[in-house]
Structure 1
């Protein structure tokens, strides 16, 4: 794990919290994770020679490494955990009902 995974996670959580009141916790997390996924796919297309040089789904299937997978997976996991713990979630309601 390197610093970019932590950076992506912190950015994703901040944007999820920012967009949560506007679109909901699940959509907010999904939006920012989709941005990071698109960024990784674009980087893989660029590594293959650019968008005009490769086939349509090239970036989706080529040049993936553990580092690039973790650049998307760590924010996805963090956003999922935050969405489960935010007020209004079923887990939040269950914990609050026990008190």
Structure 2
């Protein structure tokens, strides 16, 4: 685990809390933040695929290039999995306390 995982989790909590407190919808704030991290990490996986298998040209990448497990690593996975777990925990807490 590195500092980016913690940073992503904190930003997710902030976005989720802002939406939860402002609009009373704790779910959508968490979903928005988590989708941001998932999209970001997917784009980085596409870039890794192009660098490794596409001779540096995006045009050489098939549609599934960003989903290729060879383009992913544990750090990239944790960059979006940890914010999802944190957002779920905050959402459940918000349901329990009735916020």
Same fold (TM over 0.5): yes
Q: Displacement, 1:31?
A: 1.0
- Count of paired positions: 90
Gap runs ≥5 in structure 1: 94-99
Gap runs ≥5 in structure 2: 51-56
Tell me which residue corresponds to 2:54.
Answer: none
Structure 1 ranges of 4+ moved more than 4 A: none
Q: 2 CA distance for matches of 1:48 and 1:31?
A: 26
Q: Does residue 26 in structure 1 map to residue 27 in structure 2?
A: yes
- TM-score, normalisation: structure 1: 0.80
**Residues 58 and 10 from structure 1, CA distance in 2 versus in 1: closer, same or farther, beyond 3 angstroms?**
same
RMSD of the TM alignment (CA)?
Answer: 1.7
Residues 6-63 of structure 1: CA deviation (Å, up to 9, x unaligned): 0000011001111223371112101110110000000011112264331123112331
Q: 2 CA distance for matches of 1:26 and 1:40?
A: 21
Q: 1 CA distance for matches of 2:80 and 2:92?
A: 19
Q: Does residue 40 in structure 1 map to residue 41 in structure 2?
A: yes
Q: 2 CA distance for matches of 1:54 and 1:15?
A: 33
Tell me which residue corresponds to 2:11.
Answer: 11
Alignment equivalent of 2:65, drawn from 51, 58, 66: 58
**Residues 24 and 18 from structure 1, CA distance in 2 versus in 1: closer, same or farther, beyond 3 angstroms?**
same
